[in-house]
Amino acid sequence: MSSATAPPTAQAGGTGGQQSGVQEPTPARRRRVDGEWVRRNGVYLALLVLVVINVIITPHFVSEGSLRLQLVQVAPVVIVALGMAMVIGTEGIDLSVGAVMALSAALMPLYLGYGTVGAIVVGVGIGAVTGLVAGVLIAKVGVQPIVATLGIMIGGRGLAIVIGGSIKSIDDPGLVALGTGSFLTIPYTVLVALAAVLVVGFLVRRTTYGRQVVAIGGNRRASLLAGLPVSRVLITVYVVSGLLAAVAGVILAARSQASDPTKIGLLMELSAITAVVIGGTPLSGGSVRILGTVAGALVMQLITSTLISHNIPDSMAQMIQAAVVILAVYVQIGRKGARS
Amino acid sequence: MTLTATEKALPTDGGGGAGEVLFDATGVRKSFGGVHALRGAHITVRSGEIHALIGENGAGKSTLIKVLTGVYEPDAGELRFLGEDVQFASPAAAQDAGVATVYQEVNLVPVLSVARNIYLGREPRTRWGTVDIKAMHRKARELVRRLGIDVDVTGELGRLGLGVQQMVALARAVSVDARVVIMDEPTSSLEPREVETLFGVARNLRDQGVGIVFVSHRLDELFALCDALTIMRDGEVVHTGRIEDIDRSGLVSLMLGRTIDDVVGSSTGFTRESHVVEGEPVLSVRGLEARHRVHDVDLDVHRGEIVGLGGLLGSGRSETVKAVYGALQTEGGTVSVDGKQLRRGDVPRSLRSGIALLSEDRKAEGVVPDLSVRDNIALAVLSRVSRFGVVSDKKMDDLVDVFMKRLKIKASSPHQKVRELSGGNQQKVLLARWLCTEPTVFLLDEPTRGIDVGAKREVQALIGELAERGLGVVMISSEVEELMEGTDRVVVLHDGGVSEVLSGQDITNARLLAAMAGDEYTEEDVVAVLGLTDEDTTPQGATDAPQGAADMPQGATDMPQGATDEEER
Amino acid sequence: MSVTMETNPGIDPEADGPVTDEVRGVRRKARAARFAQQQGALVVLVLLVVVMSFAYPTFASAASFSQIALQASFLAIVALGMTLVIFTGGIDLSVGSVFALGGVVAAWASQYGVVAAIVLPLVVCGAIGLVQGLIIARGGLPPFIVTLAGLLFARGLLLFVTDEGSVTNKVPTGSAFLRLARSELFGVRYTVWLVVVLVLVGVLVQTRTTYGATLLAIGSQEEAAVLMGMPVDRVKVMTYVVSGMCAGLAGLLTASYTASGVTTLGVGMELTAISAVVLGGTLLTGGAGSVVGTVVGVLLLQVIANLINRLGLTDSNWQAVTSGAVLLVVATSQQLLRRAQRV
């Protein structure tokens, strides 16, 4: 990403940033120039600081095993956050991801009769279905993204528990291999996440579809006037997010060799949104930052693992995480978001 | 220069029975990030007077109003309210002091009753501190009766027509015993019948001694309602005085800053000979109707022709081109391109049929600020620069390169974000976007608004060149010389309908101004009023400036950038 | 999303003018739409109760109704607070955790007497609401993120005070605190009476106070509320405090009912509460709705749960499924009805 290019010169150049009548006067603009840098690169800085701290204070942090564990744990968050980043790029939000993970993890073991691949296809397919429902409600009916995905969030997990019952252990050799095996010492789950990064990165950066996504998020009216297929793009974005959430659900179930619909993906929406936001993708849409999102997920993961490896109890860890979320989101969008 | 007009027009004792000075603002300055929105504006509001505040977009009206009502803090200037120096910290503080505002959009709560809306925050209380509904309804009934509004105060506000809602807003404004009421384009979304009622209420208030500041772009309204007026342009007051001392055309020329001497010679980038119309029109519009905005508009554009679309703000210019493009819902009429009728309200199909629309609102409807120059240019032709859904860098670069060079777009690279470009370059990016679609009809809504002089001439030259290459162009412009020098024909709109079509030698300053002001004034009236001789009305002949217009301010061509846009919303 | 970007103001169904058949038809349609939006849940509830009374003789009994009322009362209290938040166009996802926290704190504090058991949870939960409200109103962060983090925080705090969930505080037997949720007045439980009182207060707040009107003003158009000179920030903060206290109140009543502070309660409760609010005709976009409607929504969900039980679907998660489905259906029809009202 072109991070170090010229600072905004709307002032000198003319009318660009001056339009809205309630635009705040000069001081606010000044601050934004500094804030802009933090918003763009703060996540990498935070990642660096966390790594350095851990290298110093956490024993065995720099070891193959530890590194692999970190990556395995962060993989589902990365996968979900990528879809979330695309949704947020269109100025939307997807609260249903955690429930979709539970749903796919609950469904998959029931279809193992069709073979490992068949079960995975079903598990992933349910994500596409829920995404389609959300997308159609949002793009065609005009329901707010937060409302539509909230409905799926509520119903989805309930359905997952109803269908999947309580914890089911998974002993299908294919799934177990997916969850625990590795290729050239890289765990399959990490490879899946890597593949997701590459695919979504390609979608966003290289394809016409990717341009349409950010254009719609950046300026929907202009996109409509430019004849873009706005409804279609919105629907597919939610389908992609649902698909990726379902993939994460499958991976998580395979890794833990169990499907527990009450636990899988719990609060994943919060982790994913936080990863996206601290990665520099604005909640107001118009840009999707892939690397930033990955870094954001890593930051959240490192914070968690640091707390755990130093025997901070769950309770403290949760409270600290909550504070970090608020702080990170505040740095990214504080005082700008809700006021407009 | 400005002072000449001002001094002349500041009557110490108004002839129309205006009372004491209620609100007096002088030397008000306000700038936003180096852009001067107000450079020493002033206004004097008197008791029992309806004072019109007018000016085109970017003149500074809204900023002045926001200073008066405590939304903005002025950089400099003196505000005296009821003889005391004041500085309102917030709209609430202004309201408490007795300066109430009625906004263009109804700023009330639709789910609450009329009475609750009127008294929200100042309800009469019962002993237990709850709202005394009975007393509130009684007071509200008295108030609306006093104002002459016929409405059930217990009814839900959202169920009422917009006009009545606006009057409830007015009732709320005066329920605090406001001494000054500021009405910021209160009529822009009202029907004529509703406007009449609103005026009745306003007059009623005036007769009760309230001072009213009334902002509107509809000249008929101003002349029907107001007693005094202040005209602003470029952040300054260019005229203030009694309404009966001025007439429509004089008002329009002051507002637009155009008098005959301004338009001598070529001040635009247009260098074209008049085009000879031949063959069938490429764009043909018949009987276009959009509720409350566009009435029965016909429009023909031939290949190689530039048709100007003139009119004041609110005359339905932008709405007309949007309706043609399919971006505004229409109730009737047909649009044909090359003889083939278009389906209504279908933007992608309009695009495929060869229509392009450069919107007036560059920010809200034009640029995608966080995308690069390159992506912005290619936005409407993404499928053409990609293969199997993957963007071909080479195709895109080739296309973008051509247009960046041809339009001389100044950017550090094609990958620079559009938000970082100047207004002029943003506009060129948008022109490039639409030219990529290879249109046969190009609808341009204020193509040179808010861009610097150099870019402006380039854009104008480009538009001329496009027409020479055979495009049919429709150009909306508020600038008279753009219409005079750039177009073959001008369709002037007034109140949503066509008021006059001028072509060739008939496109003169005077006739344009007369047509914009409404069709009641003939060219002779304008000439007589401005004190001009016949020859002045033909742009080519007038080499030396006529005396009468010498003290009129000039050079409004380059509006302060930013200030223009600052006002748009 | 249609491609037409601007629509003209439609026929105003209530504006006066020549009353043609067309106008009359339009008005009728618009009125029907309004009715469906505001009273839809009540109609469904009445129908469901009637049908179930015929289908299941045991349903139409005082015991059964009283059971439903009791079960509904805890959710109703949470949903009432949520209603106020949603009036402002916000959302409070933290209530489930705060509810559980309230119960745990109450059970712990009950050893110091009934007053402590009531006051302490209210203070703690109100404080969490206060912090959330301040971050939302003054920091300008989106409510859903703040309260989602609040959910996490309240759970963390809950684990912290229970030694990572290992300690379950018991209410001392014989404590007056136990009477709170277990005693009856005129054959009706205190908690149900409390809901009745809270609803009355809620209606009073909505219709007879400036605060209530300001809630709706913020939700319908925040900028308008600012321009009308209303204390928008203060009202928002206060609303999250109220929501937190309502959740705490429901929590402490649950602790009284179960005689202990159960740490695992309240998961997903925020979602059920939101469903009930929306079902009751309150717009999730804010600016319109009713307190009474929320109670109807809660009752409807409870009756549906009862039905699900009787259908033999013993899994309580069916309720979540129906809540979610109902929310989607309601949100969709609200959107469609709004179009119909606009005509």
Same domain, B400 and B327: yes
- C-alpha closest to that of C99 among C339, C268, C219, C324: C268
**pLDDT number for residue B58:** 67
Would residue B367 count as lying in a domain?
yes
**Pairing of the two strands B472-476 and B306-310:** parallel
Residues from chain B contacting residue A2 (CB–CB below 8 Å): 415
Same domain, B289 and B359: yes
Q: Are A293 and A193 a contacting pair, CB within 8 Å?
A: no
What is the distance in angstroms between the Cα of B442 and the nearest Cα belonging to chain A?
A: 13
The pLDDT tens digits of the residues spanning B507-555 come to: 877 778 778 776 554 555 544 444 444 444 444 433 343 443 333 343 3
Average pLDDT over residues B125-135: 85
Q: Are A305 and C110 a contacting pair, CB within 8 Å?
A: no
The pLDDT tens digits of the residues spanning C189-221 come to: 788 888 889 999 988 888 888 888 888 889 888
Average pLDDT over residues A188-202: 91
Residues from chain B contacting residue A207 (CB–CB below 8 Å): 386, 389-391
Query: Residue C238 — very low, low, confident or very high, per pLDDT cuts 50/70/90?
Result: very high
Do A15 and B568 lie within an 8 Å CB cutoff? Answer: no
Residues from chain A contacting residue B351 (CB–CB below 8 Å): 226-227
Judged by average pLDDT, the poorest of A230-234, B93-97, C96-100 is B93-97
More confident residue, A36 or B127: B127
**pLDDT number for residue C20:** 56
* Out of A13, A14, A218, closest to residue B370 by CB: A218
Q: In which domain, by residue range, is B43 found?
A: 2-246
Would residue C15 count as lying in a domain?
no
| C289: nearest CA partner in chain B | B111
In angstroms, the CA A245 to CA A247 distance is 5
Chain C residues bordering chain B (beta-carbon distance below 8 Å):
2-9, 12-16, 204, 207-210, 213-214, 216-217, 220-221, 223-230, 287-288
Which class for B328: exposed (0-12), middle (13-18), buried (19 or more C-beta within 10 A)? buried
Would residue C9 count as lying in a domain?
no
* Out of C8, C224, C227, closest to residue B290 by CB: C8
The pLDDT tens digits of the residues spanning B327-379 come to: 888 888 888 888 888 888 788 888 888 899 998 888 888 888 888 898 899 88
**pLDDT number for residue B275:** 61
Q: Indicate if the pLDDT at residue C115 is higher than 90.
A: no
**pLDDT number for residue A35:** 63
Q: In which domain, by residue range, is C198 found?
A: 21-338
CATH code where residue B148 lies: 3.40.50.300
Do C315 and A152 lie within an 8 Å CB cutoff? Answer: no
Same domain, B151 and B75: yes
CA of B130: how far to CAs of A282, B233, B442, C103, C171, in Å? 43, 49, 61, 33, 39
| C282: nearest CA partner in chain B | B111
Q: Indicate if the pLDDT at residue B8 is higher than 80.
A: no
Would residue C331 count as lying in a domain?
yes
Please provide the distance, in angstroms rounded to a whole number, between the alpha carbons at the two ends of chain A: 28
- Domain's final residue, options B246, B277, B306: B246
Query: Residue A15 — very low, low, confident or very high, per pLDDT cuts 50/70/90?
Result: very low
CATH code where residue C330 lies: 1.10.3470
The DSSP secondary structure of C50-87, one letter per residue, reads: HHHHHH-TTTSSHHHHHHHHHHHHHHHHHHHHHHHHHH
Residues from chain A contacting residue B410 (CB–CB below 8 Å): none
Query: Residue A22 — very low, low, confident or very high, per pLDDT cuts 50/70/90?
Result: very low
In angstroms, the CA A81 to CA B473 distance is 47
**pLDDT number for residue C163:** 79
Q: Are A200 and A289 a contacting pair, CB within 8 Å?
A: no
Best of A3, A19, A32, A206 to substitute, by most chain B Cβ atoms within 10 angstroms, is A19
User: Could you state, in order of their start, the residue ranges of all structural domains in chain A?
Assistant: 43-333
What residue type is B33 in one-letter code?
G
CATH 1.20.1070 describes domain A43-333: no
- C-alpha closest to that of B447 among B437, C239, B461, B403: B461
Same domain, B370 and B501: yes
Would residue B259 count as lying in a domain?
no
Same domain, B37 and B139: yes
In angstroms, the CA B363 to CA B396 distance is 24
pTM, two decimals, is 0.77
Would residue B530 count as lying in a domain?
yes
- C-alpha closest to that of B507 among B481, B527, B533: B481
Do C12 and B348 lie within an 8 Å CB cutoff? Answer: no
Return all residues near B309 (Cβ < 8 A) that are at least 6 apart. Answer: B299, B317, B320, B321, B474, B475, B476, B477, B490, B491, B493
Residues from chain C contacting residue B347 (CB–CB below 8 Å): 3
**pLDDT number for residue B269:** 65
**pLDDT number for residue B405:** 86
The pLDDT tens digits of the residues spanning B394-418 come to: 888 888 888 888 888 888 888 888 8
**pLDDT number for residue A247:** 94
Same domain, B342 and B194: no
Query: Residue B172 — very low, low, confident or very high, per pLDDT cuts 50/70/90?
Result: confident
Across the A:C interface, residue pairs with CB atoms under 8 Å apart total 168
* Rounded (10°) CA dihedral B114, B118, B122, B128: -20
Judged by average pLDDT, the poorest of A237-246, B275-284, C123-132, C241-250 is B275-284
What is the distance in angstroms between the Cα of B388 and the nearest Cα belonging to chain A?
A: 9
By percentage, how much of chain A surpasses pLDDT 70?
87
Whether chain C has a CB inside 8 Å of the CB on B453: the answer is no
Do B120 and C221 lie within an 8 Å CB cutoff? Answer: no
| B434: nearest CA partner in chain A | A226
Same domain, B273 and B146: no
The pLDDT tens digits of the residues spanning C153-191 come to: 999 999 888 877 777 888 777 777 777 777 777 777 788
**pLDDT number for residue B273:** 63
* Out of C91, C141, C268, closest to residue A333 by CB: C141
What residue type is B288 in one-letter code?
L
**pLDDT number for residue B545:** 38
ipTM of predicted complex: 0.78
For residue A304, the number of C-alpha atoms closer than 13 Å in the C-beta half-sphere is 17
* Out of B116, B121, B160, closest to residue C14 by CB: B160
Which tokens in the block code for residue A44? Answer: 């990498």
**pLDDT number for residue C314:** 64
Best of A270, A315, A320 to substitute, by most chain C Cβ atoms within 10 angstroms, is A315
For chain C, how many structural domains are there in total?
Answer: 1
Would residue B393 count as lying in a domain?
yes
| A222: nearest CA partner in chain B | B365
Query: Residue C21 — very low, low, confident or very high, per pLDDT cuts 50/70/90?
Result: low
Judged by average pLDDT, the poorest of A136-140, B143-147, C163-167 is C163-167
Do A219 and B62 lie within an 8 Å CB cutoff? Answer: no
Would residue B545 count as lying in a domain?
no
Whether chain A has a CB inside 8 Å of the CB on B419: the answer is yes
**pLDDT number for residue A82:** 94
Do A224 and B347 lie within an 8 Å CB cutoff? Answer: yes
In angstroms, the CA B400 to CA B389 distance is 18
Query: Residue C23 — very low, low, confident or very high, per pLDDT cuts 50/70/90?
Result: low
The pLDDT tens digits of the residues spanning B454-509 come to: 778 888 888 888 888 888 899 998 777 788 888 888 898 888 888 888 887 778 77
Do B121 and C210 lie within an 8 Å CB cutoff? Answer: yes
For chain B, how many structural domains are there in total?
Answer: 2
Which 3 state secondary structure label does DSSP give B450?
Answer: coil
In angstroms, the CA B234 to CA B561 distance is 10
Residues from chain B contacting residue A206 (CB–CB below 8 Å): 390-391
Same domain, B281 and B218: no
| A227: nearest CA partner in chain C | C3
Same domain, B194 and B302: no
Do C324 and A153 lie within an 8 Å CB cutoff? Answer: yes
Q: Indicate if the pLDDT at residue C12 is higher than 70.
A: no
Would residue B252 count as lying in a domain?
no
